[in-house]
Structure 1
Amino acid sequence: MKHITCYLDFVSPYAWLAFERLPQELEGISCHVSYRPVLLGALLQQHGNPGPAGIAPKRDWTYRHVSWLGHALGCGLDMPARHPFNPLPLLRLALACSDDGSINRYVAGSVLRHVWLGGHDALDPQRLQALEQALAEQRRADPDGQQAKALLRANTDAAAGRGVFGVPAFEADGRLFWGLDGLPMLRASLQGDAWFHGPAWEAAPAVPSGLPPAR
């Protein structure tokens, strides 16, 4: 059985789309998926990347694109009332349902649907309270929330150490695949596509850069 680690942050619309698409992409493949919440903002900051929401025209395009993708893929996607938003309360709530930094698909899906369906404020106190109640049976004993905070830091640090620069990202067989549009490539790798056993995987990032060195 193959093992896949899925790094995600609930603030990312592509995390929702990839979450919904993943079962179709993995159909017929014996595998287990671990969902590991990470803080996207910290990963972006590490690489000096403002993210799509930090560039006004790209923000406009991204929101149009993901709204259309939700329609085209049949899973739906409604932009929340405010975006981006601080995802820490949702990340910590999800990890309050974990012993080791991984959450199950029920928890991941519950939080993602909370954000990406209905067009509501993801941080509305009443809605957060309802989400907490929905996850009550999944939560571990962590009265001060320190374990969830520690798991989030550990997950984010581990993801950065593995080369994760954005979400969703998928790690399988020692390879990283990024984004919704990386899912067909992930499937091909899991199915043993010969391309992955040739020189192309290692050769591609070895191409010399034509940009001047950073100052």
Structure 2
Amino acid sequence: MATARPHIALYVDVVSPFAYEAYHILRNDPLFAPLSDSITYIPIFLGGLMHKCGNTAPMRIANKDKWINTERLRWAKHFSIPISTSLPVDFPANTLPVQRALCALGDLESKEGQGKLVRALDGLYAAYWVRGEAVHQAEVLRGVLEGVFGREETERVLAEAKTVGKTRLTENTERAFKEGAFGLPWMVCTNGKGVTEGFWGVDHLGCVVEFMGLEREKAKGKAWKALL
């Protein structure tokens, strides 16, 4: 019986600390190394998704706002993820210009496009969640992208963000909604049996590991002990 090609699609928005943490784990934890060529990152606009779902941002809910900040630092510590103890400038910022720029990088379904996307995400996540920079502001965004791609490519990306990027971001956000997303990180996973399921949250990565049939003995650290 033929097996299916395993795949994980992770929806991300720079504004979400938990999408950043899931991204960092999928990119760097040895447990996911066998799937390194089978993970796709998809930029969406979290604000748009929340609106479509009628969802409320955690930071606007009494008590949950404090808990959510503790939670992001807890998982960052467990998985050794670089993150500032202070929240970024203007958090939660409107990341629409950032997400449109990411969608303007090129064909994000291709290997080349994904390569450019992860370089941009690495730069933006470091700027926003490690250094606390206001990447949603035009000059800061431009500076981060220029540091990754140079001036000429950055000018092209920022110009196309207003057209191609805008359209793609809307399409990606709608796709996430149709695939069941109501917040981030949202992961759509297909295992070797060809079964597809959706998973939400860093705290459900243990379920992803089980579903994808990854080798649990490679899971290291107290975070994985808690999840598995």
The two structures share one fold, judged by TM-score above 0.5: yes
Aligned match of 2:60 in 46, 54, 62? Answer: 54
8 Å CA contact 1:4, 1:31 repeated in 2: no
Structure 1 equivalent of residue 93 of structure 2:
85
8 A Cα contact 1:70 1:76, kept in partner? yes
**1:89 CA drift (Å):** 1.3
Q: CA deviation at 1:29?
A: 4.6
Which runs of 5 or more structure 1 residues have no equivalent in the other structure? 194-215
Q: Name which of 112, 123, 133 aligns with 1:110.
A: 123
Residue correspondence of structure 1 range 132-211 to structure 2 within 5 A: 132-136=145-149, 141=156, 143-144=159-160, 145-173=162-190, 174-191=196-213
Could you tell me how far apart the structure 1 residues matched to 2:38 and 2:205 are? Answer: 15
Write out the 4+ residue segments of structure 1 that deviate beyond 3 Å after TM superposition.
27-31, 100-104, 137-144
In structure 2, relative to structure 1, the CA distance for the partners of 1:120 and 1:140 (3 Å cut) is closer
RMSD: 2.4
User: Compared with structure 1, are the counterparts of its residues 139 and 189 closer, same or farther at alpha carbon in structure 2 (3 Å cutoff)?
Assistant: farther
Percent sequence identity is: 25
Do the aligned partners of residues 100 and 31 (structure 1) sit closer, same or farther apart at CA in structure 2, a change above 3 Å counting? closer
Structure 2 length normalisation: TM-score? 0.75
Q: Using structure 1 for the length normalisation, give the TM-score.
A: 0.79
State whether structure 2 residue 15 is matched by structure 1 residue 2.
no
Q: How many residues align?
A: 193
Task: Choose 45-54 or 65-74, whichever is displaced more.
Answer: 65-74
User: Hey, what's the Cα distance between the residues in 2 that align with 1:55 and 1:90?
Assistant: 25
Q: Does 1:44 align with 2:50?
A: yes
Amino acid in structure 2 at the alignment position of 1:4: I
Contact 2:22 2:202 in 1 (8 A): yes
Give 1 or 2: higher helix fraction.
Answer: 2
Q: Could you give the per-residue CA deviations for residues 93-133 of structure 1, whole angstroms, max 9, x where no partner exists? A: 21121224664322222222221011233334442221121
Mind listing any 5+ residue stretches in structure 2 that lack a counterpart?
A: 191-195, 216-228
Q: Shift of the alpha carbon at 1:13?
A: 0.4
